[in-house]
Amino acid sequence: MPEAQYLSRKRALDRLGREKVLYERRPGGDVSVCVIYPNIYRLGMANLGYQAVFHIFDSNPSVDADRAFLPDADEREAMRAGRSRIVSFERGRPLSDFDILAFSVAFETDYLNVLSILRMAGIPARRNERAGRNFPLIIAGGSAIFLNPEPIADFIDLFLIGEGEEMVPEFLARYLAERRKPDCLEALAEVEGAYFPDYFHPEYREDGGLRAVRYSGPGKPAVNRRLIRDLNRFNTSSLILTEESVFGDMYLVEASRGCQWGCRFCAAGFMYRPIRYRSPERIEVEARRGLGERGVIGLVGAEMASVPGVARIAESVADAGGRLSPSSLKADCISPQLAAALGRNGARSVTVAPEAGSERMRKVINKNLTEEEILRAASMMMGEGVENLKLYFMVGLPEEHDDDVMAIARLTGSILDRARAARQRIGKVTVSLNPFVPKPWTPFQWDPMEDSRALRRKISMLRADLGRLGAELDAESPREAYFQTMVSRGDRRVGAILERLQAAQCESPGEIWGELKAIRREAESGARALPNPDFYVTRRYGHDEVLPWDFIDHHIHKWFLLSERGKAHFEHQTKPCDVHRCTVCGAC
């Protein structure tokens, strides 16, 4: 066995030995499926969506399911040196031997890793290069795919767009019925929510924008995003535990999908509309089950302080000797009861997301949150023994001025001043700062990302002020945000850029930024056919422009998103979603 393959198998077997599977696994059937998370193991096993999809495949008696992940950095280096192939996680089987490779893609930035995994498996990346040859059927789903699958549309045979609990079993049933027929792929495309890229043909204007998308398939030229109306029909919680996961000390429980607040930058708040909650009773049952495995219950969702019954759930967990760890809390929804419950049994850190430093900017982004509410929430949490506070902000937002950026430091200082005045114990205060990335299906989808130089200047200004306050700044690199914006707002031509970046990564592992700059320079000089990445990143899209993701039907009116963008300009806020009485946006 080659050294690289030996290293990979030894590590996989060691990890398998430390995992605890919380459901009964059955013998596999005659259809082999490898469910792939296109990033490293410790991230993949922290993703509830990935675990849920693997469980669906693994529980089907006709399926022999396995997993795969992007190899760790040292494994990739050894594979590169030894020219060895990636194999599946559990059985060490070549990926090219499976019937189906199913990618679960949570983040657009992992699109590049999809190409890397196909290369390491010895499988041609482009769909047309695999046609007529004995390669696996390659499908993809996940939250990144919901928003915009186009940058990898030339590499995937079929996309499943929507929530998988009903959709994946329907896909499997159709596959089992049609797999030996020559028109199997066309039959699979009939599953509601399936996107077959071969039916959609983008046409471009002279200036590079989309003129139209010609459709050659049956029915309507749109893909209906699938959605589960009643979350109580399914349990979405940890199914395989491993301490190596980034949340290795937690048992994760999904509390909700979507968000009622309508923050104008937030993709989750729009693509998962309407907001759906699991009942407090179901969450408590799962939490009690989880406390038999872990001392911390990680509550997963877009915003947890407004989950019905969350204070009671936190108290129930605390009474049982555990601790509830919510993903994020909206400051004005934190009650004294919730703060007290979160502060019990060793809780020392909590994340609050003001998103913007000034009240003006919070109106622009529709955060519906005053400074006094933020100060009150932080003081309440520290008063209950929470020492370490993480504050989440964005920089480079539409309509933002320098004074709005410096308001982040002023707000942080006010939180510290109030804590000192109340003689509260202050541990580490961390400001997490992320450059704004415009996302499809949000009111800010037409807005550009701010220039990287301007972002670096703003981050530098903040770093100096926060340093004087004694707060730490954890800022995402603008170049990372640049890449994320390119794949978030890109059309099908971005696939060629990804291919070139992936080839460059083979030459110099982990370094794509120089190549991205080279592509920009070449596009500006007209020397190469690749589009300029700036076209997707720093350009304001026209309101009447055909957008790459328009063919997906998220049941949200485009005029509603434009109306929300107009409200942002005038600093007008919109009330939270009322799913019982409001039908304005089209999702309900």
CA torsion sign for 554, 439, 170, 241 is: negative
Reading phi first (left if > 0) and then psi (alpha if -120 to 50, else beta), residue 227 is in beta
Instruction: Give the DSSP H or E segment for 382.
Output: helix 371-383
Q: Are 361 and 399 in contact (CB under 8 A)?
A: yes
Alpha-carbon distances, residue 38 vs 35, 49, 328, 556 (angstroms): 10, 13, 25, 29
244 HSE (CA, 13 A, CB side)? 17
> Tell me, what's the pLDDT at 1?
60
> Tell me, what's the pLDDT at 78?
82
> Tell me, what's the pLDDT at 510?
67
Residue 253: beta bridge partners?
237, 299
* DSSP line for 440-499: TTSTTTTSPPPPHHHHHHHHHHHHHHHHHHT-EEEE--HHHHHHHHHHHH--TTHHHHHH
Alpha-carbon distances, residue 432 vs 232, 353, 393, 478 (angstroms): 33, 9, 6, 14
> Tell me, what's the pLDDT at 419?
87
- Rounded Cα gap, residues 188 and 171, in angstroms: 7
> Tell me, what's the pLDDT at 97?
97
Q: How many contiguous H segments (helices) and E segments (strands) does the chain have?
A: 22, 21
Could you tell me the end-to-end alpha-carbon distance of the chain, in angstroms, rounded to an integer? Answer: 56
- Write b or e for each residue in 169-207: b if 16 or more Cβ atoms lie within 10 A of its Cβ, otherwise e: ebbbebbeebeeeeeebeebbebebbbbbbbbebeeeee
- Rounded Cα gap, residues 577 and 567, in angstroms: 16
Token pair for residue 36? 């792939």
Spatial neighbors of 21 by CB under 8 A, at least 6 apart, are 239, 240
Asked if residue 326 has a cis previous peptide bond (ω within 30° of 0), the answer is no
- Rounded Cα gap, residues 433 and 12, in angstroms: 35
Q: Where do the domains of the chain lie, and which CATH numbers do they carry? A: 3-217 (3.40.50)
Spatial neighbors of 187 by CB under 8 A, at least 6 apart, are 174, 177, 178, 181
- Rounded Cα gap, residues 427 and 470, in angstroms: 10
> Tell me, what's the pLDDT at 214?
96
Per-residue pLDDT of the chain (588 residues; tens, 9 = 90+): 666 677 788 999 999 999 999 999 988 899 999 999 999 999 999 999 999 999 999 999 999 999 999 999 888 888 877 677 899 999 999 999 999 999 999 999 999 999 999 999 999 999 999 988 899 999 999 999 999 999 999 999 999 999 999 999 999 999 999 999 999 999 999 999 999 999 999 999 988 899 999 999 998 999 999 999 999 999 899 999 999 999 999 999 999 999 999 999 999 999 999 999 999 999 999 999 999 999 999 999 988 999 999 999 999 999 999 999 988 888 889 899 998 888 887 777 788 889 999 999 999 999 989 999 999 998 888 888 777 889 999 999 999 999 999 999 999 999 999 988 888 888 888 999 999 999 999 999 999 999 999 999 999 999 999 999 999 999 999 999 999 999 999 999 999 999 999 998 887 766 789 999 999 999 988 776 799 999 999 999 999 999 999 999 999 999 999 999 999 999 999 998 888 888 889 888
- Rounded Cα gap, residues 277 and 286, in angstroms: 14
Beta strand segments in 135-226, E: 137-141, 158-160, 194-195, 200-204, 210-215, 223-224
170, amino acid identity: E
> Tell me, what's the pLDDT at 8?
83
- Rounded Cα gap, residues 436 and 453, in angstroms: 14
- Rounded Cα gap, residues 104 and 132, in angstroms: 25
Cα pseudo-dihedral 414, 416, 419, 420, rounded to 10: -110
Alpha-carbon distances, residue 299 vs 251, 302, 318, 385 (angstroms): 9, 10, 14, 20
Residue 474: beta bridge partners?
432
* DSSP line for 304-351: -TTSTTHHHHHHHHHHTT-EEEES-B-GGG--HHHHHHHHSTT--EEE
- Rounded Cα gap, residues 393 and 351, in angstroms: 11
Token pair for residue 153? 């549309």
Q: What is the pTM of this model?
A: 0.95
Rg (CA), the chain: 24
Residue at token pair 């696994």: 25
Q: What angle do CA 368, 369, 374 make, to 5 degrees?
A: 165
Spatial neighbors of 252 by CB under 8 A, at least 6 apart, are 46, 48, 237, 238, 290, 297, 298, 300
> Tell me, what's the pLDDT at 380?
87
Alpha-carbon distances, residue 341 vs 66, 321, 333, 346 (angstroms): 40, 11, 14, 11
CA torsion sign for 491, 497, 503, 504 is: negative
Q: Are 138 and 97 in contact (CB under 8 A)?
A: no
Token pair for residue 472? 């730490």
